[in-house]
Chains A and B, each alone.
Chain A
Amino acid sequence: MLLVEDDPNDVLFMRRAWKQAGHPAPLIVVEDGEKAVAYLSGAEPYSDRAQYPFPSHVLLDLKMPFLSGLEVLEWIRSTPEVKTLPVTILSSSAEPGDVERARQLGISDYIVKPSTLQELLNVVKRFSE
């Protein structure tokens, strides 16, 4: 799982929930959209796939510096090598415009970041299904 998230607190909670959910797959984190694109395309410093494995799913925050989540999603859907990668949006808000745009581009789910740990855990547990 590749988590693209710029908020260190959200990253901390996600790591905690990920561990608690007991997923065997590692949770890899990059903190902005540009790094996400670099990671997915195997550019430096992420070229070593042994250390930086290609993810089977991307968890994408929307509002991030440099490249927004929607821009990353646009890039994914228009790049042949990563085009079919499942993406779940994890955002602070469900702005109708954002939701619609994300759905047009193709996403597995659009999740509004839960405010309690239990809800977050429930969200994370769903990823193993």
Chain B
Amino acid sequence: MIRQGRDLEERTLLVAPRGRDRLLLADVLGKAHYLPQILGDLDDLSAEIGRGAGLLLLEEEAITSEAAPALFKALAEQPAWSDLPVVILTAPSRPERQTRRMVRSLGGDANVTLLERPIRILTLLQTVESALRARRRQYEVRDFQEALELRVAERTAQLEATLKEMDAFSYTIAHDLRAPLRHLSRFSEVLELECGESLSVACADYLRRIRSGAVRMDTLVVDLLHYSRLTRVEISIRPVDVVALVSRVLRHMETDLRERKAVVTAELPPGFVLADPVLLSQALTNLLSNAVKFVAPGTAPSVRIRKEDRGPWTRIWVEDNGIGIDPRHHARIFEVFERLHSSKAYTGTGIGLSIVRRVVERQGGRAGVESQAGAGSRFWIDLRRPEPGAR
């Protein structure tokens, strides 16, 4: 916004139709250094307000019912911070209801002070001084707000730039870091294929280890990228049909579930939760694949999906017959890359549950676990229910 000069902002705009009063007022105010700008009528005044005004000083006689709307409009169009003081010198011996009507014609929000005529000079000067002081406070608020908005805009731009940098950084990781890994793994594969027979057993084993290290690191990079993307991706929270979503997730996992000979039962009464369908599917998929993965060797996984209402929350349970988790590890398992098992026993990078917690929290929910070692695990997700009738 273009700042008006201080002179314009603090000036007193005067409309006094009666010539004698006009000269007197101008003289008194001028001597007290409140030199007023004299305007012919309310139309001129209204046009002038936009250039800046500290105070309007008007004689009641100037505010006729024909002239009032222009001023009403000018006052109504003030910005939010502005509450321009309007001091009106009332017409002597005019009935009160007529004056009240005049005040009302300026709008309910007008900041009006009435001074009875005849008026003492001291009363006038103190009123003007007080009004101007209040006006200066308004300017301070305005300046402060503008500075604040400017700072917010700057910070937002900085944040956006940082996010963009992060994106570029992730991309670089994805691309530049993965390329050498890919080559490492492929060259060791070529070595194995083409020189395998001339290698000693030990050397062949070293080579295999190099390769599996490279493959594993590649998986970690991919998982980490996936995780960071899910925590940044734009989401849209809306009422989601839990039954439909769970059956979609199960359909997508069909092959995996069949290969593991898993039995999944869903006991889900109809119901909606507030969620982002993509993120919730991701969370449930991760919980389900853990549920069928972490079973004792030789055990067929059996998983039960339930849901129950708890206050404003709906809790979705994923319960398994797996190896369970000692309660002292419950906090750890939701951290990025935390693993409780060697990759020999159970493959994975340890990112699945951190994704669950992160995406559930992004949907305004929470996630947790109840489990004992050796006794299966019961993972849960709490999400809010939509307001009744919100669908």
Contacts and interface: CB of A to CB of B under 8 A. Distances in A.
B169 interface: no
A93 B174 contact: yes
A115 B175 contact: no
A92 B218 CA distance: 11
Nearest to B218: A115
B189 A116 contact: yes
Interface in A82-114: 91-93, 95-96, 113-114
A93 B171 CA distance: 8
Interface string A71-84: 00000000000000
B12 interface: no
B186 interface: yes
B244 interface: no
A115 to B, nearest CB: 5
Interface in B183-203: 183, 185-187, 189-190, 193
Contacts of A38: none
B175 A93 contact: yes
A117 interface: yes
Contacts of A113: 179, 182
A92 B189 contact: no
Interface residues of B, number: 19
Contact of B174 (A16, A92, A120): A92
B175 A117 contact: no
B71 to A, nearest CB: 55
Contact of B190 (A91, A114, A117): A117
A51 interface: no
Given A93-B171, A93-B174, A95-B174, A115 B190 contact: no
Nearest to B184: A115
Contacts of A9: 179, 183, 186-187
A115 B174 contact: no
A7 B179 CA distance: 9
B178 interface: yes
B137 to A, nearest CB: 49
B179 A115 contact: no
B215 interface: yes
A13 interface: yes
Nearest to A113: B182
Interface of B: 171, 174-175, 178-179, 181-183, 185-187, 189-190, 193, 214-215, 218, 225, 229
